Each structure stands twice: as C-alpha cells, then as structure tokens.
Amino acid sequence: MRRAGCETDVPPRKWGVVALLSVGMVIAYIDRGNLSVALATPQVRDDFRLSDSIRGLLNSTFFWSYALLQIPAGWIVDRYGVKKPYAIGFLFWTLVSAATGLVNQVSQLVVLRLLLGAGEAVGGPASLRWIRSNCPEERRGLAVGIYFAGTKIGSAVGVPLAALLIAAYSWRTMFFICGLSGLVWLIAWLLLANDSPAQETSAVEREPGEAAVSFLELLASPTIWGILIGTFSYGYFLFFCVTWLPAYLIEYRGLALNSMGFYSLFSFGGMAVIAIFAGWLADRMIRGGSDPFRTRKTFTVLGFLLASTEVAGAMSNSTGTALFFVVFSLAGLGLATANYWALTQTLVPARAMGRMAGIQNCASNLGGVAAPLFTGWLKQISGGYRAPMQAIWVVLFLGVVSYLVLVRPIGLCKATR
C-alpha cells in the first residue's frame, strides 16, 4: 500500500471534518452525561424519591436503545452515507435532551432517555465510517484519537458545566441550555460534511479484489469476538465513570458539587489528551516501519492495564490516594482509546466499516447498560462502592485476556475471504 504524506492523503478540509466529528461527540457526551450530575443532587433525588437501584436504572436506560440501534445505524450509514443520517439524528437528540427539563415523573425520564439513545445511535457509526473512508492507516490513529477525544472532553466539561448550571439556575434549566445550545453544530455539519458514500474520496487504496463482507462473516471471526469482549470491558469502565463517578466522589469521598466537577474535568481531560497523543505516537511508529497490528494492540492492552489501577484507589481509605487513581486510571485508558478503534479499522475492510462500527459500538454500550445497573445493585446490597470497583477490575482483566488470546490478523482474514 502506498504511504503518502498527510498533505496529500488528508487535506485540511478533511481534518476540519475530523475536528467537527470530535465536537459532535463533545455535545453527545454532555447530553448523555448531564443526568448523572442531576441524580447526584439532593433536589432531584427528593423530587423523584429515588433509590440507588432506580438511579442505576435511569443511568442505564439511555444505553438500552443506543446499544440496540448501533447495528441498524451502521447499516444505514453504509447504505445512505454519513451526512443526512447524522444530521437527522443530531437534531432529534438535542431536542429530546432539552425536553428532559420538562419531566415530572420517573416514567417520563425513562422514555426520554430511551429516545435520547435512539437519536445518538447514528453518531459513532457515521463518524467512524467517515474516518475509515478518508484517512489512511498512517494517519488514522491521530484521526481516531481526535474523534474519541471529543467523547472524553464531553465528559470532562459536561460534568462541571452541568454542576455549574444547576448551582446557578436549576436542574431543569441545565437541560434546556445543554440541549438547545448544541444546535449550532448542525449548521457547520451541513456545510462541511460529504453527502454520500459516492462522494467520500477514500484516502486508502482499495486492495485488489476486495469484496463486500456480510454481517455473518464478521461474526464468524474469533478476532471480532475478541474485539467485542474487549470493547465491552472498555465500555463498562468508561460508562461507570460517566454515570456513577459523580455520586462516588460526592457520597463516598465527601467532595462538594464544584470539587467533584473539577476532578471529573481532570480525569476525562487527561484521558482526551492521552488519547490524541497515543494515536499520534502509534501512527509515527507505524510510519517508521512498525507493524500496525502489533503496535495498536500493544497500546490497547497497556491502556486496559493502567485503567485497572482504579481498584487501588477504591480500596484505599485515603481520599487523596483515591482521587489520584481516579485521574490516573482514566488517563491511562487513553492509551487504548484511539488505538483499539484504529486496530479494528486496520482489520476490517472499508465496505464493512459502518456495520462493524455498529457492532463494536453495540458491545461498548452494552457495557453502558450493565455498569450502571450492576453498580447500583452491588452498592445497594454491599452498602458501598468497593464491590462495584472490584467488579470493574474483573471486567478489565477479561478485556486484556480477550485481546491477548483472541485478537489476531488471521482470524478476520479467514472470515472475509
């Protein structure tokens, strides 16, 4: 395969679209994460008379529809392109997010969170399909890193932003502002994005004889199952932090609302920075002759191992130690963030990337379904956060084993011949 410079393969306009995709994820993660901040406040808990199990249910509900619709969303962007499906989904979810400020019953919250998940479902498959079609292997780690940095920046700024708006106004006003302000992004998207697969000028030379890959052929590969198990593990830890970390810091470690927002900013912000750096460094190593598969797999495993140190903070009686490992473990997971997705793009043909992104996003967000529910249940029966944190360690260890044992280039090659 030809290895050309960034100036030829990824023009400035396309880097602009990559940045726009990242900003789209900032908005998405603000809208999906602000409920967790509201649920950590006494006002919302009292207004809705919420138990720990119900809080876990509400934090999980978004991921039910989001995970379920990932595979259909991947098929839609493979069939109809990126621009229009993403625009429709974005408009829908921002309006639903704003409408959350009008609810008065738990059942209404459940319905709106399901609708929010449905609206956001197209974002991941559309973004990753666009990157796979427009960025070459030697630049893809950086592109994916920039894109996924948006998911971390969204959590980093979303938590303190939601806390600030709740403190200054109310939780209802917070939802109105967070939902409606994101509509500005839609204008830029309609102006810059490509309209259909036919207009996506691939930066990657298609391999001779590359054929379409079916859904069943993807699922026949042990490599794909290794990726999916690892992705579930990644999502479990990440979405524990998105949904329960604010309550953990306030209820168990005694932080004030503003202090909680500060540490969340550093945790997710550090993850965003490391994700971009790790993607860039892996790209540089690959341009220098390193094997793309082994390079990205190594970064992924190291990221999982560093993330597992969260349990050390949870087992400590020192608040300072606990806060250090909150920041360190999330920042460490940034080593995997860009590279585990770029590794998938290395292994999967471009024509199947929308569907594969949907499958992989589904696995990640099944972690989002499981983590809030299981954490709420474990917290209620154990009376604290140590058992939920120990569960995180077990899940991350499973992810490490899946990448080391199952994820191999030959597995997918056999499935896609």
| Res. 263: pLDDT tops 70 | yes
What is the C-alpha to C-alpha distance for residues 147 and 360, in angstroms, rounded to an integer?
A: 16
Cβ neighbours around 272 below 10 Å, total: 27
Burial of residue 42 (number of CB atoms within 10 Å: 0-12, 13-18, 19+): exposed
Q: Is the pTM of this model over 0.75?
A: no
Question: Smallest Cα–Cα separation from 29: which of 124, 142, 141, 166?
Answer: 124
| Res. 300: pLDDT tops 90 | yes
Best-predicted range by mean pLDDT among 35-44, 216-225, 401-410? 401-410
* Band (226; pLDDT cuts 50, 70, 90): very high
What is the structure's pLDDT at 366?
Answer: 87
What is the C-alpha to C-alpha distance for residues 5 and 400, in angstroms, rounded to an integer?
A: 34
pLDDT in tens, 360-387: 888 888 888 888 889 888 888 888 888 8
Could you give the count of Cα atoms lying within 13 Å of 110 in the half-sphere of its Cβ? 8
Which domains are present in the chain? 8-201+213-415 (1.20.1250.20)
pLDDT in tens, 185-223: 999 998 887 754 444 444 444 444 445 566 677 777 888
What is the structure's pLDDT at 91?
Answer: 95
| Res. 405: pLDDT tops 80 | yes
Query: What are the φ and ψ backbone dihedral angles of 302, each rounded to 5 degrees?
Result: -60, -40
